[in-house]
């Protein structure tokens, strides 16, 4: 089975060869689900089937393989759409039929796929390269089409049925979200300024939620950083964007809730507005836009930031994020201090000459904070003692292996956990439980947490060869997928 071969090797070249061979044998109507599954995703999104339900399925495996991609895809589609009276019995019936028709290897694959175990982060990038090999097209063409479509299965179908010509047809489409550009942690303000020879925009690093705004005439749509639509939950943002002086626009930015004094509220309060169930206290969100990707019929993705910034200021006006353009070192340092004093995380240093590289964490954008922070994956939690008895406390933390996407443990911490977070962890973690022993509950790699640390040190204690120093919890990141967690290479780069 291709999945087992990919999981068993650390060689990126081998993974690409196996996956490209798989894609060349798939029928046109199988390509979309095959690409999604190979990336560890479900085309249907959430299907409402939990780990506990799946692990209690007790059906002997089929002796021979008879399942087809189309049959599995159809069964999962029906599962996702089953709700209302009698749905529990019907869902159980569908799962039983699927499991009974699957061989032992297929049952294992389905279990990992449906529980998120195949969600290996970097595997998406590997699958994109495999698509390029199978379609015999340049990888950059696939990456750009994926950036613009926001969906790798759609990109793959185009590449494998229409080649380079079909990929070249992808354009930024107002109303369809694209992969957002990402920032890398920067070392110091001075180093970042020097790297870009002063040709930079220095902006406040807000403790808010990423939003991507699309307006086409009277229609406004708003998406999160994971491309989930939240338009109906943020009417104040919709009204604001509808009032901008333009016909069509695509803006990238942050939004956050403010206190009566104008200071940012905690990140969790902002994110409560994005929840499926409305928060009991409706907090007004304020947008701060930092990039303009399209304006009145003109795409700006390939334009330098200096040009995009000018368009942004023209259309967003007072809703543009505060920034200094081409400051000297002293002015940049004063601006950094002022950002911290205002309650923000630090500053962003952005190259004014760089295009918008969607979906990529490059050096053109760097975040500068007073302490190092990393987005890590929660691998487990130990039961507390003393005043924390009965609560899941000490976290096991992992960084993402950029080759396999698997988490690599780099440390533990119980610092920074408030009483509210302890209660939340104890309630939430069993929903992601993979296994447990007397002291620890081990989790599927599904939750991302932001960790502040003073640095890292060489350590043989953990598989990655490094350990976090003085790590403490800052906040959980429900807006981030495990695929967006920091890599073990990023952690190692913090070594003295």
Nearest in space to 307 (alpha carbons), one of 269, 236, 356: 356
Q: How many angstroms separate the CA atoms of 324 and 191, rounded?
A: 17
448 contacts 359 by C-beta, under 8 angstroms: no
Tell me the H-state helices in 226-316: 235-242, 267-271, 305-316
Terminal CA-CA length for the chain: 43
pLDDT tens column, 202-253: 999 988 889 999 999 999 999 998 888 999 989 999 999 999 999 999 999 9
In sequence order, the β-bridge partners of residue 413 are 395
- ∠ at Cα 172 (169, 177), nearest 5°? 125
Rounded (10°) angle between helices 152-168 and 31-38: 120
Mapped onto helix, strand or coil, the DSSP state of residue 450 is: strand
Burial class of residue 396 in the structure, from the number of CB atoms within 10 Å of its CB (0-12 exposed, 13-18 middle, 19+ buried): buried
Nearest in space to 117 (alpha carbons), one of 54, 30, 64, 164: 54
What's residue 371's pLDDT?
Answer: 75
Residue 125 makes CB contacts below 8 A (sequence gap 6+) with: none
What's residue 422's pLDDT?
Answer: 95
Q: How many angstroms separate the CA atoms of 58 and 4, rounded?
A: 22
Scanning the structure block, which residue is given the tokens 């495990």?
482
What's residue 35's pLDDT?
Answer: 92
Segment 86-94 shows an average pLDDT of 81
Q: Per 3-state DSSP, what percentage of the chain is helix, strand, and coil (rounded to 5)?
A: 40, 25, 35
Q: How many angstroms separate the CA atoms of 143 and 358, rounded?
A: 9
Scanning the structure block, which residue is given the tokens 């209690």?
56
218 contacts 372 by C-beta, under 8 angstroms: no
Q: How many angstroms separate the CA atoms of 156 and 35, rounded?
A: 7
368 contacts 390 by C-beta, under 8 angstroms: no
What's residue 280's pLDDT?
Answer: 41
80 contacts 48 by C-beta, under 8 angstroms: yes
Q: How many angstroms separate the CA atoms of 237 and 253, rounded?
A: 12
> pTM value?
0.72
pLDDT bin (cut points 50, 70, 90) of residue 456 is confident
What's residue 157's pLDDT?
Answer: 95
What mean pLDDT, rounded, does the chain reach? 88
Poorest-confidence range of 217-226, 337-346, 431-440? 337-346
pLDDT tens column, 243-277: 999 999 999 999 987 777 777 777 767 777 776 65
In sequence order, the β-bridge partners of residue 409 are 398
Nearest in space to 270 (alpha carbons), one of 333, 331, 322, 207: 207
Mapped onto helix, strand or coil, the DSSP state of residue 385 is: coil
What's residue 4's pLDDT?
Answer: 75
For residue 176, pLDDT beyond 50: yes
Mapped onto helix, strand or coil, the DSSP state of residue 411 is: strand
Poorest-confidence range of 246-255, 324-333, 435-444, 456-465? 456-465
What's residue 172's pLDDT?
Answer: 93
pLDDT bin (cut points 50, 70, 90) of residue 120 is very low
Cite the annotated binding site for ATP by residue number: 203, 210, 225, 254, 290, 361, 367
- ∠ at Cα 155 (14, 490), nearest 5°? 55
Catalytic-labelled residue, pool 13, 15, 92, 205: 205
From residue 294, alpha-carbon distances to 216, 291, 300, 303 in Å are 11, 9, 5, 10
Poorest-confidence range of 48-57, 172-181, 345-354, 394-403? 48-57
Tell me the H-state helices in 292-441: 305-316, 329-341, 419-428
Segment 420-436 shows an average pLDDT of 94
Measured in whole angstroms, the distance separating CA 35 from the mean position of its chain's CA atoms is 18
For residue 165, pLDDT beyond 70: yes
For residue 70, pLDDT beyond 70: yes
Strands (E), 217-360: 219-224, 248-257, 285-295, 298-299, 323-325, 346-351
Is residue 205 among the annotated active site residues?
A: yes
Q: How many angstroms separate the CA atoms of 111 and 258, rounded?
A: 43
Segment 166-175 shows an average pLDDT of 94
Nearest in space to 351 (alpha carbons), one of 340, 362, 360: 362
In sequence order, the β-bridge partners of residue 376 are 449
H or E stretch at 139: helix 139-149
From residue 334, alpha-carbon distances to 39, 324, 325, 329, 403 in Å are 44, 11, 14, 9, 40
State what percent of residues in the chain have pLDDT above 90: 52
Structure tokens at 266: 């905690």
Nearest in space to 367 (alpha carbons), one of 479, 195, 204: 204
Nearest in space to 400 (alpha carbons), one of 58, 125, 34: 125
């Amino acid at each position: 089975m291709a999945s087992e071969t990919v999981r068993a090797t650390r060689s990126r070249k081998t993974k690409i060869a196996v996956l490209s061979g798989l894609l060349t044998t798939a029928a046109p109507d199988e390509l979309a689900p095959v690409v999604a599954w190979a990336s560890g995703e479900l085309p249907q999104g959430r299907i409402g089937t939990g780990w506990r339900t799946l692990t209690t399925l007790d059906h002997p495996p089929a002796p021979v393989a008879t399942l087809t991609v189309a049959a599995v895809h159809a069964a999962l589609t029906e599962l996702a759409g089953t709700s209302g009276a009698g749905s529990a019995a019907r869902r159980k019936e569908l799962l039983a039929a699927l499991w009974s028709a699957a061989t032992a290897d297929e049952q294992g694959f389905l279990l990992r796929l449906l529980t998120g175990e195949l969600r290996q982060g970097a595997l998406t990038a590997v699958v994109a390269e495999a698509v390029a090999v199978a379609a015999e097209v340049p990888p950059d063409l696939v990456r750009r089409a994926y950036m613009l479509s926001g969906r790798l299965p759609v990109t793959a179908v185009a590449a494998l049925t229409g080649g380079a010509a079909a990929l070249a047809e992808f354009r930024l489409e107002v109303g369809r979200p694209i992969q957002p550009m990402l920032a890398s942690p920067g070392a110091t303000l001075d180093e970042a300024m020097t790297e870009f020879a002063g040709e930079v925009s220095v902006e406040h690093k807000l403790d808010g939620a990423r939003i991507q705004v699309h307006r086409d005439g009277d229609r406004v749509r708003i998406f999160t950083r994971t491309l989930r639509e939240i338009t109906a939950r943020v009417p104040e943002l919709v009204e604001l964007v509808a009032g901008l002086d333009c016909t069509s626009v695509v803006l990238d930015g942050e939004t956050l809730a403010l206190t009566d004094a104008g200071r940012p509220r905690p990140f969790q309060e902002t994110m409560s507005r994005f929840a499926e169930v409305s928060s009991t206290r409706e907090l007004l969100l304020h947008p701060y836009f930092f990039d303009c990707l399209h304006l009145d019929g003109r795409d700006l993705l390939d334009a330098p930031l200096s040009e995009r910034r000018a368009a942004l200021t023209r259309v967003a006006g007072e809703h543009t994020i505060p920034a200094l353009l081409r400051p000297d070192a002293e002015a940049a340092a004063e601006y950094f201090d002022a950002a911290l004093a205002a309650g923000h995380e630090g500053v962003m240093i952005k190259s004014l000459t760089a295009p918008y590289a969607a979906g990529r964490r490059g050096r053109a954008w760097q975040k500068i904070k007073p302490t190092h922070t990393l987005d890590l994956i929660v691998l487990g939690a130990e039961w507390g003692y003393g005043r924390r008895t009965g609560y899941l406390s000490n976290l096991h933390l992992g960084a993402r292996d950029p080759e396999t996407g698997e988490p690599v443990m780099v440390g533990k911490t119980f610092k920074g956990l408030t009483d509210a977070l302890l209660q939340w962890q104890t309630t939430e973690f069993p929903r992601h439980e993979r296994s447990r022993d007397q002291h620890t509950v081990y989790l599927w790699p599904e939750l991302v947490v932001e960790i502040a640390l003073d640095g890292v040190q060489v350590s043989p204690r953990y598989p990655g060869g490094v350990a976090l120093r003085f790590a403490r919890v800052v906040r959980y990141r429900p807006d981030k997928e495990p695929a967006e967690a920091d890599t073990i290479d990023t952690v190692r780069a913090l070594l003295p």
